[in-house]
Structure 1
Amino acid sequence: MALQDRLRSSVIASNPRPPVFRTVAGLDSAYDEQGNVVAAIVVLDARTLEPVETVTARGTTDFPYVPGLLAFRELPTTLTALEKLTVTPDLLVCDSQGLAHPRRFGFACHLGLLTGLPSIGVAKNAWGEFDPPGDERGAFSAITLDGDEVGRALRTRTDVKPVFVSIGHLIDIETACAQVLSLTPQYRQPETTRLADRLCRQLLKELPA
C-alpha cells in the first residue's frame, strides 16, 4: 500500500504526444487455489482487430488475494509474458482498474509505469461512485472517489451494462474511452479482453491437476 501511495504521483493522465494506436494489446491473468498463475497477452491490429501476436506465461505466487493489491499477485507473470513479445504495443488494455482504485493506483497504473507504455484499465465492475449512463452505446458517466473523477462508466452496447474505464498511464480519459469503443464493435468487453480471457481459461485447464 505504501508503494502504491508513493508511485501514484508518477502517473501521467494525459497524452504527452498525439496518440497513434496501430497495435493494441489485451492482458489478462488467472490463477488457481494452488497458487499457479497464468498470463496471456493478445496484440491486435487497432484498425482491423485481427491478431498480430499472442504470448503466454505460467508462474506461481504465494501473495494472497487482497482487494486493491492485484498487481502484486499477477504482475510478475504478466511481465514474463510481456518480455516474449516481438511487437511493442501502442496501448495496453488491462482487465483491471487504473486510477479507479482505493489508492488511485490499480494494476493498469502499475503496469504502465513499469513498461513506459500508454495503459488503461477496463473493468467489469466499478470501484467508486457513479450514476448509470444513458442507455445508448457511447453514453458515459463519471466514476468518482471523494468527489474526484477517476474514470467513466461507458456504455459499449445499447441497453447492456457498462464497462468501467480508468486511466493507467500516458493517456487521457477521452482518448481511453474512444479506444474502448473502437475495440467493442460487437460485444460489451473489448476484443482484446475477450481474447486474452479466453486464452487464460484455456491455460488454466491445461495445468496439471
Structure 2
Amino acid sequence: MKVAKPDSWPTSPEEAAALQDLLRARVIADNPRPPDFRTIAGLDSAYDDNGNVVAAVVVLNATTLETVEVATAQGTTDFPYVPGLLAFRELPTTLTALENLTVTPDLLICDSQGLAHPRRFGFACHIGLLTGIPTLGVAKNVWGDYDEPARVRGSSTVITIDGDPVGRALRTRTDVKPVFVSVGHLIDLDTACTQVLALTPDFRQPETTRRADRLCRTMLRDLATEYR
C-alpha cells in the first residue's frame, strides 16, 4: 500500500514535540463518509535495548476475523526514549511494514494512543495522517483521568486530560480491566468503540493488535537468538 513517507524525521525531542503540535490541527475526529470497514489492520511494534525495532501489520476480514495478510519490517532507531514521543522510535519501521502490504485496509487499529495524548497527537493520529486511512488507538494503559466503567462488557466512561474529553475507557470483557480507546484520524469515537467491541469476541484486546503483538514478540525473540 502507498504511504506518505516523510523525507526526514525529527532528530531531537524538541523537534518531535513541535511537529506533533503542528500536525495536531490536521486530525479529523469524524467520519467523512459512512463507515464500510471490510478489512481491518492491527499495527504493533516493539524494540530492544540494542536499538532494533520490529513492526507487524495483520489484516483481518472484518466479518469473519480471518487473517487476510501479514506484513513485517525490521529497522533501528537512535531516537531517545521520551514518554509522549515514543512514536518517533516506531513510526519509520511501521511505515515500512505498511508499504509491504499488497492490500489497503479500510481501518487501522494501533496498539497506542490517538487523541488521548498530552499533545493530543499520539501514534494513531500520526499514522492516520500519513496513510489517509481511518485510524484509532487502543491502549492497554491510560493517559488521562477516568472513572471505572461498569463491570459488564460494553460499558464505558470518558477519558479526560485537563478537563477535555479525549477518549473512552471501554470494558471489552466483563470484570476485566478496560482498554482505552481514542480517535486517531477520520473516525469518530462512537464508531471507534463499536469497532473495538466487534473485534474483541474472546479477549480484552482486539484480535487485530493482539495478533500483531504476538508476531512482534516472536520477531524480537528471533533477534535475541541471533545476538547470542
Which bracket does the TM-score occupy, shorter chain normalised? over 0.9
The amino acid that maps onto 1:35 is G
Q: Provide the TM-score with structure 1 as the length reference.
A: 0.99
How far did residue 192 of structure 1 move? 0.6
Q: Provide the TM-score with structure 2 as the length reference.
A: 0.91
Count of aligned residue pairs for this structure pair: 209
Could you tell me which residue of structure 2 aligns to residue 39 of structure 1? Answer: 55
**Is the aligned partner of 1:123 residue 2:139?**
yes
How far did residue 71 of structure 1 move? 1.2
Secondary structure at the aligned position of 2:152 is classed as: coil
Structure 1 segments of 4 or more deviating over 2 A? none
Percent identity at matched positions? 77
**Is the aligned partner of 1:135 residue 2:134?**
no
- Counterparts of 1:103 and 1:2 in 2: how far apart (Å)? 10
**Is the aligned partner of 1:148 residue 2:164?**
yes
Secondary structure at the aligned position of 1:48 is classed as: coil
How far did residue 205 of structure 1 move? 1.0
The amino acid that maps onto 1:196 is A
The amino acid that maps onto 1:168 is G
Could you tell me which residue of structure 2 aligns to residue 171 of structure 1? Answer: 187
How far did residue 147 of structure 1 move? 1.2
The amino acid that maps onto 1:117 is I
How far did residue 65 of structure 1 move? 1.1
How far did residue 146 of structure 1 move? 1.4
- Counterparts of 1:196 and 1:64 in 2: how far apart (Å)? 24
- Counterparts of 1:66 and 1:118 in 2: how far apart (Å)? 26
- Counterparts of 2:72 and 2:33 in 1: how far apart (Å)? 31
Unaligned runs of 5+ in 1: none
* Aligned CA-pair RMSD: 0.5
How far did residue 195 of structure 1 move? 0.3
Could you tell me which residue of structure 2 aligns to residue 182 of structure 1? Answer: 198
Could you tell me which residue of structure 2 aligns to residue 192 of structure 1? Answer: 208
Q: For residues 13-162 of structure 1, what are the structure 2 equivalents within 5 Å?
A: 13-162=29-178
1:27-76 Cα offsets, whole Å, 9 max, x none, are 00010000000000000000000000001000000011110001110000
